[in-house]
Structures are given as C-alpha cells and as structure tokens.
Amino acid sequence: MEHAPLIDPFARPIDYLRVSVTDRCDFRCTYCMAEHMQFLPKKELLTLEELDRLCSAFISLGVKKLRITGGEPLVRRDIMTFFRSIARHLDSGALRELTLTTNGSQLARFADELADLGMKRINVSLDTLVPEKFAEITRWGRLDQVLKGLEAAKRAGLKVKINTVALKGFNEDELFPLIDWCAAEGHDLTFIEVMPMGEMGEELRLDQYWPLSDVRKAMAERFTLTELDESTGGPARYVRLEETGQKIGFITPLTHNFCESCNRVRVTCTGELFMCLGQEDNADLRAPLRAGTDDAPLIEAIRAAIARKPKGHDFDYSRQKVAGQMSRHMSHTGG
C-alpha cells in the first residue's frame, strides 16, 4: 500500500531507516557497553514479526534504505527469518538497499545467505588489527573469528566497509596499517569519532577523543587527499587517496555536525523511534504495533514523530563536561 512519503519539518525526505534488532552482543566494546550489561527483558523487545511490520510500514512510506543494527544483529535468535522475509521488498523494488552493521563475529555462518537474499554490502566494526588489543577493547572478542567472517563476506560477494572508531592512545599507531590492510583486501574504510553515549565515564571519553581533523592531517602527510562530494545516504564525508585510489570516510558528529542533510531515523529494539541520535525525544511505536493488526495507528504514530524531527543535535567536547551526553547506551539505540 502506497502512502504519501515522509517529509520532516525542514523539508528533508526521510528515506533511510536504521533498526536495532537486539541490545545484546557477543562483544563488550569499552566505548559502547559496560562489561556487565543489564539487558532488556525479552517481552520488551519487538518480536521478529513486529520488526517486519514496522519496517514494512516505513517502506510503504518511502523508506528506500534499511540498515539493521544492534547490539550485534546476528546474535539474535532466528534473525535470518526476519532477513528472508524483509527481502521481499528488495524483490518488489520497494526497497533499494537492505544492509547490516555487524562486528563480524557471525559472518562466517551467515555471509552466504545474506548475499543470496539480495544484500550487497555490509559495515563491519573493527578498531584494531592487533589480536591482543582487539581482545582488550572488545573484552570478549577474538580477532581471528572476525577475520574469518570478513573472508566469508568477501567470498560471498558482499562489499565490506570497515568502520573504525578513532581512539587516542589506542589505535593512533594503526592509522596506516589499517589503510594498507583495507587497500589489500578491497574494503572501504570509515573513521568515526568516539561519541558520548552511555554512562562510560566522562574521563574515559575525553581521554579517548581523537579528532578526525588530526587523523586527516596525518593522512595528508603520506597521501594526496581529494575531497569527494558523494554520499552513501549516511553522515560520512569522503576523500580519495590518490596514490591507492581508496575511498576513506570520516564521520564527525562532534567537530562537524552533518545534520543539514539528515535523511534518517532510528528505531530501537524496543520500538522507540528516535528522530535524532543526539536528542532524547522519541516516539513509542511498540504500543500501536501491539494494539492490533491494523497498521493505520502505527503509520499515524510514525507521521506524528517525523513532524517533530529536530534540525540538529549538539555533542560538544570542547567544554570539559561532555555537553549533549546521552544516558542510553549505543547498543540500545543501535550504532
């Protein structure tokens, strides 16, 4: 069923939806989760059927790109049932792209099936290529498992973009090894500034903060950087390294707000719709989903929420207190 498309108060069409399917993860990355996380009770989470209904409603409202996030989406039980079902919108042409952000730990199991159902590319979070450092930052992760997953994704024909959080004193010395490795593997690479999400301790955040302007400066000493004006529908700004032809992205929520072209909203695993990652305002979509089988109240709730989408957010590290700090963990909202 076709509906009038979603347009926010600033005339931005909303055609990109990010949905977290779980708050659980098999890693405990230090900047994302506490080591002993209190996970949500199962009844609070949207069921796979509810997730399908919710995504399908957004697709009927003009969403063309759907990104599944978590936690770690591939640790949710029977998640492939959801992927197989939602892929019908790719087949019909209603959805242009179905994609996934993952830590890569389960890719060896699922890469072939994801490619078979029409997924073309995935984002894999990877902050270091040193096994000991990987174990330290993920607390529970094993680098070899992720590298095997990446090999499986490549074999399956999935285009991989590596997302690396820039962490001062942790992976500063890996800037060029990461670039070289991605060039050799044929992966795109995007650097992300660490964000003030969750009660991870302000000291840690400010100590870890490595502005991407510094990352870029270091890159420019070795490579010729050409600014690209392309966008993949997300917040990244891209440059091309002329010497290697690589495309490198920068996501800078702190030093450069990218709000003016924001075309996306997020839904948490409990059905809260966040119109902006950096604002607390949200709308409950779980209640209309559970009220009955009629989608009209759900669509009404989505429209009412988009009508409140703000112009932008405010994360700022320049004041020693982290302004605009969010109390919810990144794993709950979806990365």
Question: What is the amino acid identity at position 246?
Answer: Q
R_g of the chain computed on alpha carbons: 19
Does residue 71 have a known ligand-binding role?
yes
Structure tokens belonging to residue 131: 């096994």
Count of beta carbons in the 10 Å neighbourhood of residue 287: 12
Gap between the Cα atoms of 296 and 277, Å rounded: 26
Task: With CA atoms as reference, report the closest residue to 17 among 123, 99, 121.
Answer: 99
Is 182 annotated as belonging to a binding site?
no
Is 84 annotated in a binding site? The answer is no
31 assigned to a ligand binding site: yes
Q: Is 265 annotated as a binding residue?
A: yes
Backbone angles phi, psi at 108, to 5 degrees: -60, -35
Nearest to 143 by CA among 127, 162, 157: 127
64 appears as a binding residue in the annotation: no
Please check if 259 is assigned to a binding site. Answer: yes
Does the annotation list 195 as a binding residue? Answer: yes
Q: Please indicate if the annotation marks 161 as binding a ligand.
A: yes
Q: Indicate the pairing of strand 188-193 with strand 282-284.
A: unpaired
Identify the CA nearest to 326 among candidates 286, 284, 277. 277
d(CA 1, CA 268): 24
262 annotated to bind ligand:
yes
Tell me which residue of 152, 196, 179, 172 sits closest to 315, measured CA to CA.
196
Binding residues for [4Fe-4S] cluster, by number, are 25, 29, 32, 259, 262, 276
Binding residues for GTP, by number, are 18, 67, 101, 161, 264-266
Binding residues, by number, are 18, 25, 29, 31-32, 67, 71, 101, 125, 161, 195, 259, 262, 264-266, 276
Binding residues for S-adenosyl-L-methionine, by number, are 31, 71, 125, 195
